[in-house]
Chains A and B, each alone.
Chain A
Amino acid sequence: MVGEEFPSVKTKNIGQHLWLGIAIALVLIFSLAPVMWQLLTSFKVNQDISKVPTVYFPTRFTFGHYIELFTRRPFWRYIFNSAFVAIISTSLALGFGAPAAYALARLRPWGGRVILTSILLVTLFPGILLFLGLLEIVQALHLGNNYLALIIPYTAINLPLTILVLHSFFQQLPKDLEDAAKIDGYNTWQMLVQILLPLTVPALFTTGILTFIFAWNEFIFALTFITREQMKTIPVAVAQLSGASTFEIPYGPIAAATMVGTFPLVLLVLFFQRKIVQGLTAGAVKG
């Protein structure tokens, strides 16, 4: 009824539709163009890549750059390294972060507010402030070129976000549930594992996607602590592709390598867009 009396509020006229359409098209072009350009480049033969004026669509479609990556370089190994480090550090961040988040949300620990504030502050430190101190530890413990040199810092840099997201999750969970479980004779440990943990799985999953993305994308620690070719992660290995050739920058292989390194993350975004949004807003809003 109100909508009929004030059509300007509820329905859009043709002009507004047009503007919205243009705006949506611009958002799509803005977001996709660089990735699409790299995708197109990765399928072009070298003559097309270095032709002036630019050839937009491959005249001859080739998988050559991809094949080169996997035959002439240990690309499976890079993928494995990135995946392994990201999965282990994600699991550890969840394993360390979930109890901490629960304690902060429910158990009213001494100094809880201070702890939460310092955790929020810590998320603002860029890696450049940490790499020197960590490098010394890595050297002292002989952890260079060891997965642990990445797994430990990645777990730690993901802990603040994990704790903040799960903290906001636990706060929203009705406390009655835990009280009821206690009345039914569950002890604290049983209550946590049998009642609370199953409820927490979706929140853990949401957080895990974010931490996986951060770990997969990390650059400065991977660049500093890993020098052996076999141990490199995707971002560093690809960034060093251009330096590997003395003659010219291998644009085709670089484009193909970019696509290989981004593909897992494109999949994650396609399938879990909603969860990523949930996690990011929970991490930033409630903190």
Chain B
Amino acid sequence: MANTVMMSKLHAIRRQEQITAGIFLLPAAILLLFVFGYPIVRAFWLSFFAKNLATKLQPVFCGLDNYARMVGDGHFWQSFWIATTFTTASVILELLLGLGIALVLNQKFWGQGGVRTIAILPWALPTALMGLAWAWIFNDQFGVVNDILLRLGIIKTGINWLGEPTLALLATIFADVWKTTPFISILLLASLQSISPDLYEAHAMDGAKPWQSFYQITLPLLAPQILIATLFRFAQAFGIFDLIAVMTGGGPGGATEVISLYIYSTVMRYLDFGYGAALMVVTFLLLVLAVASASFLLNKSRIAAK
């Protein structure tokens, strides 16, 4: 008898809790559905319609036409490969450099706090503004990169960094690496700090060299964090817009036109909403696929760590 009274009282508390939770979650949920959910669903819906200047911006159902058009759209494939190249190169460079910087910042030295502060700085600054700064640094006539290379005698005449397809892509990758490496350093530094020094001491007593400790202790313990950082960076780099829009505008001749720039000009310049929506859907699905496989890997590495 007492037991059932207890049970029903617990039940009442639990129900009260559920109601409060609902009230607390509702505003955030509505906003997230409105700003994230609706545009994605809308893109799926619109991708089955022709809505462009030819249809006088009225939606006309066209089935899978937009997707069929994508298959034969060299422009789309090009922007897709440029985005993939950009993402792969910058994420790999950021990981290597970020790990290096994290290892340096993890050392004890005078002024450590100040150096850490400065190392974070690039991450916090507005990407669009720093894109302008990088465009100025890589300027063909007055740029400081050319000046340094000329003074060192590495080149004889100034290089048109942002005017040559490969070099322009390289320059944007460099700027992106500068901007986002701190994010990786911060995450990796935090996990480096959580590794107990005892582990290294014990390992050293067993006769291990520092580089062996790095491979056998540091890297395996950082693995989950490295994967998480890679996942975040992959998604952001694949959708990069502001940096490239400001630095090269997608030029020269589309050499740096990544997928998001292509989507943006399809919608905003050519007013082709239906096709733009289809491009969004494909980008979205690719990201979901990448995230799903990364989380699968992450789970595996977590299990392996245990």
Contacts and interface: CB of A to CB of B under 8 A. Distances in A.
A266 B42 contact: no
A121 B291 contact: yes
B39 A280 contact: no
Given A126-B238, A134-B39, A285 B225 contact: yes
Q: Which of B31, B132, B134, B201 has the most CB of A within 10 A?
A: B132
Interface in A121-152: 121-137, 152
B235 A129 contact: no
Interface string B115-139: 1111111101111111111101101
B250 interface: no
Secondary structure at the A interface, as helix, strand, loop or mixed, is helix
A79 interface: no
Contacts of A258: 129-130, 132-133
Contacts of B21: 103-104, 107-110, 112
B187 A285 contact: yes
Interface residues of B, number: 99
Contacts, number: 281
B280 A239 contact: no
A76 B180 CA distance: 29
Contacts of B297: none
Interface string B74-110: 0000000000000000000000000011001101010
Given A134-B39, A266-B124, 20 more contacts: A27-B104, A34-B134, A50-B141, A107-B18, A107-B21, A112-B21, A122-B32, A125-B239, A125-B284, A125-B287, A127-B239, A129-B40, A131-B264, A132-B39, A132-B273, A219-B126, A261-B126, A277-B189, A280-B187, A285-B187
17 contacts: A6-B204, A23-B104, A50-B142, A54-B142, A99-B23, A124-B236, A125-B40, A129-B283, A131-B267, A132-B42, A219-B128, A238-B128, A239-B245, A258-B129, A258-B132, A276-B186, A285-B191
